[in-house]
Amino acid sequence: KPEVRRNHIILRSGDKEMVLKAKSGAKVTYTTWSAEPKESYDGANPGVIVVGFEAHIPAGRSEDFFVTLSRR
């Protein structure tokens, strides 16, 4: 299971770890989502968790995001 921290997400598989980070001028909030099917026609995703981040960008403004996935 991914570990959501204040400024990154730790991904683990066995004894291996990776860190997901996103840098931006906007405040980034890290989160996870279920990969369970929402519709009857969607395929099953057993054991899958979607990871990522959210940021509020006001209308008329743009932001760049620099995302890294690195070994820990």
User: pTM for the whole thing?
Assistant: 0.85
38 contacts: CB under 8 Å, gap ≥ 6:
none
Task: Evaluate if residue 72 carries a pLDDT over 90.
Answer: no
Residues 17-37 have pLDDT tens digits of: 999 999 999 999 999 999 999
Q: If we measure between CA atoms, which residue out of 15, 16, 24, 28 comes closest to residue 55?
A: 28
